[in-house]
Amino acid sequence: MDYNSDSGWQLHPIGGDTGQAYMGTKEDQRIFLKKNSSPFLAALSTEGITAKLIWTKRSHNGDILTAQEWLDGRTLAPDEMASDDVITILRHVHGSQRLLNMLEQVQGKVYEPADFISDYQDGLHHDLVTHSWLNKVLAYLQDTADTIPCYHKTVCHGDLNRKNFIQSEEEQLFLVDWESVKISDPVFDLTYLLTHYVPLASWDEWFERYGLSITTKVYHRIEWYSLMSLLLLIKQEHFEGRNRQVNEKIILLRQIYQQRSLKS
């Protein structure tokens, strides 16, 4: 990366999956720099969901660089993910027509249920391909994918890991790392968070605080995306060698699937 060659900024790589993020330092100043971020970042900054966008420039080698305010703060702990502040920022994202319009303008990915199934099957490890219980759940999701209605797709973050929620020193909450953003059923975002961080017994209360009215059709969407989110999480945890977490998620998968059987 060549930006520091003529700007006076020193760049320090920040750990992450993409290797595209840097802390820029210049005298006593700090900024967050990222290569080739989506133009969607500007809309997120304007809405106050991410840190303030300072500038966008093209580097000598053609990369598009974005600079944002550096956030002095902390990531949320697992037990904070059910907080009202998290619910508030998700309602903001899912309810913003401006964000949806902007993401549509930059040709954001539109995800249907079948697309999530394809993501799960892509590069799936042999251990999971041959797992009879996971295959049973997968077959159910494949058979019912066309029956899951979504009348209003929204902006979905797509990776609501607690490490993507940053609380500043002023206690303002930001949602960062939008590499997985998509246009889809907001229930996918909600169940992704719930299957990661919220006990199943607390889901009804969480949905009530979010403001989601649980009709029969909404219940089926929650059920379908909960199972889908768990399959995707099991795939990820298995890839990372986190066997205990894989087993925990399989137990939760069984609980949700068995509840489906009791209600059918």
Q: Find the DSSP H helices in the chain.
A: 4-7, 40-46, 84-95, 97-105, 113-121, 126-129, 132-144, 186-197, 203-210, 216-239, 243-263
User: Residue 183 burial by CB count (10 A; 0-12/13-18/19+): exposed, middle or buried?
Assistant: middle
Q: What is the mean pLDDT of residues 203-207?
A: 95
Full set of structural domains in the chain with CATH: 4-70 (3.30.200.20), 74-263 (3.90.1200.10)
Q: Say whether pLDDT at 2 is over 60.
A: no
CA distances to 6, 25, 32, 37, 71 from 11, in Å = 12, 7, 9, 17, 16
- Report the run of H or E that residue 24 belongs to, with start and end: strand 21-26
Please give the radius of gyration of the chain, using alpha carbons only, rounded to the nearest integer: 20
Kindly report, residue by residue over 97-131, the tens digit of the pLDDT. 999 999 999 888 999 999 999 999 999 999 999 99
Q: Which of 28, 122, 159, 185 is catalytic?
A: 159
Kindly report, residue by residue over 151-182, the tens digit of the pLDDT. 889 999 999 999 999 998 888 999 998 989 99
Kindly report, residue by residue over 217-229, the tens digit of the pLDDT. 999 999 999 999 9
SS3 93: helix
At 1, the pLDDT band (50, 70, 90 cuts) reads very low
Running DSSP on this structure, what letter comes out for residue 109? P
CA distances to 68, 173, 209 from 168, in Å = 14, 6, 23
- Report the run of H or E that residue 154 belongs to, with start and end: strand 154-156
Tell me the average pLDDT of the chain: 88
Kindly report, residue by residue over 5-49, the tens digit of the pLDDT. 446 677 777 765 555 777 777 777 777 777 767 778 889 998 999
Indicate if the alpha-carbon torsion angle 156, 158, 162, 166 is positive or negative.
negative
At 91, the pLDDT band (50, 70, 90 cuts) reads very high
Confidence (pLDDT) at 28:
74
Strand partners, 35: 65
Amino acid at 135: N
Higher-scoring residue by pLDDT: 193, 34 = 193
Is residue 159 among the annotated active site residues? yes
Q: What is the mean pLDDT of residues 250-264?
A: 80
